[in-house]
Amino acid sequence: MKTKMLLILLAAVALLAACKGKSSKDYEVVNNDKRSNADYSTAEADSTKVESKLVKTAVINFKVKDVRQTGENIVTLTTQYGGMVMHHQVQSSASSTRDVHISNDSIMRIAAFNTTGEMTVRIPSDKLEDFMTKVSKMGIYVNISRMDIDDRSLDYLSEQLKLRDRQELVSQQKSGKIRIKNPTDVLLLKDDMTDQKINNLRTDQAVKFSVISLSFYQSDTISKETIANDDPSAYNIPLFQRLALAFENGWAIFVDVVVGLVNLWMFILAGLAIWRIVIYYRKRMPLQNKPAAN
Residue from 94, 84, 60, 74 nearest 216 by CA: 60
Q: Which residue has the higher pLDDT, 205 or 160?
A: 205
Flag whether pLDDT at 19 surpasses 60.
no
Q: Where are the domains of the chain?
A: 24-50+153-206, 54-151+210-228
- Give mean pLDDT, residues 55-82: 94
pLDDT band, residue 82 (cuts 50/70/90): very high
Highest mean pLDDT among 123-137, 175-189, 265-279: 123-137
Flag whether pLDDT at 248 surpasses 60.
yes
Percent of the chain with pLDDT over 90: 29
- Give mean pLDDT, residues 18-41: 46
Instruction: Note the pTM of the prediction, 2 decimals.
Output: 0.57
Q: What pLDDT shows up at residue 9?
A: 47
Q: Which residues pair with 111 in a beta bridge?
A: 97, 223
Q: What pLDDT shows up at residue 182?
A: 63
For the stretch 260-279, what's the b/e string if a residue is b when 16 or more beta carbons lie within 10 angstroms of its beta carbon? eeeeeeeeeeeeeeeeeeee
Q: What pLDDT shows up at residue 181?
A: 64
Q: What pLDDT shows up at residue 180?
A: 65
Q: What pLDDT shows up at residue 165?
A: 74
Q: What pLDDT shows up at residue 286?
A: 63
Residue from 87, 214, 33 nearest 138 by CA: 214
- Give mean pLDDT, residues 129-148: 93
pLDDT band, residue 190 (cuts 50/70/90): confident
Give the amino acid at 171: S
> Measured between alpha carbons, how far is 147 from 133 in angstroms, rounded to an integer?
12
Residue from 105, 40, 94 nearest 221 by CA: 94
Q: Which residue has the higher pLDDT, 124 or 172?
A: 124
Q: What pLDDT shows up at residue 236?
A: 67
Flag whether pLDDT at 103 surpasses 70.
yes
Q: What pLDDT shows up at residue 233?
A: 66
Q: What pLDDT shows up at residue 235?
A: 64
Going from the C-alpha of 44 to that of each of 33, 52, 157, 197, the distances in angstroms are: 20, 16, 11, 20
For the stretch 188-205, what's the b/e string if a residue is b when 16 or more beta carbons lie within 10 angstroms of its beta carbon? ebeeebeebeebbeebee
Going from the C-alpha of 195 to that of each of 190, 248, 261, the distances in angstroms are: 9, 89, 99
Q: What pLDDT shows up at residue 146?
A: 93
> Measured between alpha carbons, how far is 288 from 283 in angstroms, rounded to an integer?
10
Question: Distance of alpha carbon 250 from its chain centroid, rounded?
Answer: 63
- Give mean pLDDT, residues 210-221: 93
